[in-house]
Structure 1
Amino acid sequence: MRTAKARRTPPPSGLIIVDKPAEWTSHDVVGKMRGIAGTRKVGHAGTLDPMATGVLVVGVEKATRLLGHLALTEKVYDATIRLGVSTNTDDAEGETVAATPAGHIPDEDVRKGIAALTGEITQVPPQVSAIKVNGERAYKLARAGEEVELAARPVTVYGFEVTAIRREGDVVDIDAVITCSSGTYIRALARDLGNGLGVGGHLTRLRRTRVGPYTIESARTIDQLAEECAILPMADAVAAAFPRRDVTEEEARLVAHGGRLPAEGLGSGPIGVFAPDGTLLALVEERGRTARPLAVFVP
């Protein structure tokens, strides 16, 4: 007689703030976290290249529906840019395509070049990127030897603070803290800084230290999470990342059924809606005089 397998209790819905190790893809992290969290319903907000380390926001169960909204928030990086060497990927994982002595460039010119890349700018993504061109990822086309034409796109670099300039022979290494909008390629900033100075450049180190409100101090390594899988509850995650709106019982019933609320002027981005008892009900977005649901989380 066959016995029925006991159903595994799914983990609570929430976010896991991972300190991604070097040489792992973001997909590698998701695969590992599926095993640690004990569920297939795992995703991530905002991809990090294999070379990069630092904050990767992972969603579990219902929190996967938050990820697209969290991916649009401000990010902070610690980076090192090398002037004098260009690569085909704009980072240290690529092949060198040009080398031009950069040791003669004064610090003042470096800082002027950085100032030109601060604020609202347009940026051409790296050839080796995940952007789709005619249905294919740009990096696949580039690695197949095709020249990929990628359109420039607007991004915002809120801060580009130099913390050190180091010189060794013909190369100049610049350590910087960069605060930027979603969709900004730090590799492209390194490339454009070097090209603007006439010597080429690429990224040699990248560590993401913040995604929205989630910082490296709250991140856990894969080994730490394997010992204790710390999941930030959905309500706490939303309250930290988005404006909060507390509603009445009547309004809560309306939102739970996908209904709209009157707008309260809380901004154009997602707003977390909470029931009188503190339960997270939904994310809504204000359009004109109404707040319409983006995602409803109650049964």
Structure 2
Amino acid sequence: MQTVMQLLVSGVLLGGVYALGALGLNLIFGVAKVVNFAHGEFLMLGMYAGYWLMVKTGVNPYYGAPLIAAGFFLVGVLFYALLMRFTIYKSEMTQVFATLGLGIALQNLALLLWSGDYRTIQVMPSGGESMAVLGVAVSSTRLVAFGFAVAILAAVIVFLRTTFLGRAIEAVSQDLVAARLMGVNPGKVFLATFGLGIALTGVAGAVLVPSFYAFPSVGSFFVLVSFVVVVLGGLGSVVGTVIGGIALGVVESFTGFVSPDLKEATHFVLLILLLAMRPHGILGVKGAEKEALK
């Protein structure tokens, strides 16, 4: 029973980490119906931002999260204004190649600037990396990341439901044509959405760097995990992202206990099964994955 509880707690905390990394991806898809294949690279840049903030200034990335969010919001605005604005109404393949090409460019830029060395930081005092709660070992860094995931989810939901811009974002997400008729400017909404989505991704990377190594190709791992989380929880569903992340984390935790060699394969198997059996996910709207901008 103790082993089951340990695996369950570890899986939930890991799932919170995964959900945090996937939240920005799902927000952008939910509004603009754009699958951002450069998502992993933006998260990788967020990890480096958290790392260098700690190394150069001594500021813990947990405390520096608002600063990182502001910087990556500007990055997201530039991402839309310089690239996605010209492809958002184009075919899906155009969007795929545009974001995939950007991802490859960012990965190689990181390799050029910071080499392929693995980097991480220690934010907890020596010996404080884990704690025991009712006999269950809990990773301090993953617990903090899980707390960030819950807090950010709550903040995003409040923002979407209580502010004018948030309601405009939801309106465009549900029906672009009707939103236009109601006077909503889709261009401004897309600009704000990309800024917010990339800001969330950057913060996720900064929060994850104490738990994972930062290196130029780390985004390739997280983008696959993020896709599985988004498909599992539901395309375009913010709450579904957290549910999908926790579900994936628990499944991976138990699978890894049975056979560590199968842990990575869990992502591929789940993705294939979901796309074949329930492509709209747990909380997603049926047909959302096929909806296009008009």
Which structure has the highest strand share of the two? 1
Q: Could you tell me the TM-score, scaled by structure 1's length?
A: 0.25
